[in-house]
Structure 1
Amino acid sequence: MPFKTRESYDAIVFELSGKFLGSIEGAAFKEKLDELKAAGKTKIVIDLSKADFMDSSGIGTLIGALAAMRKVDGDVKLACMKERIKNLFLLTRLLGPVFEDYDTVEDAAASMNM
């Protein structure tokens, strides 16, 4: 699962596509996050509109990203979740108490500037 990054408003958007398996993609994802954190870019939006599947290690990777960014007064928001992935976050009770989900990347990015 390749990912791309871009800037939207004051946030960095990670566009995930295909399968997000933390055990495989986690190292590259974490490396990019560390690079952004070092540059002071700590507002992250995860665009899941093109993600088809996520396993438990993928969720763990996102939890790690959230923890890392919150330690430096940043945040991670989820956007454009497909039903299958949204159900996984609901089942694990991470949606709401831990992660916030937005319908659009723009809404997620804007929520960090409130």
Structure 2
Amino acid sequence: MKYQTELKDDLLFVRLEGDLVAGKDTQQMIEEVDVIQDGKALLCAIDLSNVRFMDSSGMGVLVSLLTKFRNRGGELVLIKPSDHIRKLLIVTKLNAIFTIAENDDYAAQFLKESIY
């Protein structure tokens, strides 16, 4: 899995590409998000549009990140999951706990409104 992080107006964007499974890259991404969050970033948008596959550990990563942000009074949304990932979220009922945005603008608007 490849990833990029971008902090823009106190909003953390994490863009994932490839397969969201347990591994060194996934752990590195979690650690980087933790460091950025310690800098008081309370809002996060994870772009899943280029994620091809996700297993149970990948779902665990998303739930863990959501929990970390909510425990600090923040929020996390998922941006445009692929059809395969969207189906997984529905089957596992995770679509009930995650907000899904269709683009960066909607994600940013939702996140900013969620803390005010």
Q: Say if 2:41 is the partner of 1:41.
A: yes
Identity %: 27
Tell me how many residue pairs correspond in the alignment: 112
State how far apart, in whole Å, the 2-side matches of 1:113 and 1:85 are.
25
State how far apart, in whole Å, the 2-side matches of 1:81 and 1:103 are.
8
8 Å CA contact 1:15–1:48 kept in 2: the answer is yes
Query: Where does structure 1 lack aligned partners over 5 or more consecutive residues?
Result: none
8 Å CA contact 2:11–2:42 kept in 1: the answer is yes
State how far apart, in whole Å, the 1-side matches of 2:61 and 2:88 are.
14
In structure 2, the partner of 1:56 is: 56
CA-to-partner distance for each residue in 1:33-53, whole Å, 9 max, x for gaps? 210111001200000111111
Shift of 1:78: 0.3
Mean Cα deviation higher: 26-35 or 57-66: 26-35
State how far apart, in whole Å, the 2-side matches of 1:103 and 1:8 are.
18
Match of 2:84, SS? helix
CA-to-partner distance for each residue in 1:2-53, whole Å, 9 max, x for gaps? 10011344411100001111x2133112201210111001200000111111
In the TM superposition, 1:73-112 aligns within 5 A as 73-95=73-95, 97-112=96-111
Q: TM-score, normalised by structure 2?
A: 0.90
Match of 1:52, SS? strand
8 Å CA contact 2:76–2:111 kept in 1: the answer is no
In structure 2, the partner of 1:18 is: 18
State how far apart, in whole Å, the 2-side matches of 1:55 and 1:38 are.
28
Q: Pairwise CA RMSD of aligned residues?
A: 1.2
Query: Where does structure 2 lack aligned partners over 5 or more consecutive residues?
Result: none
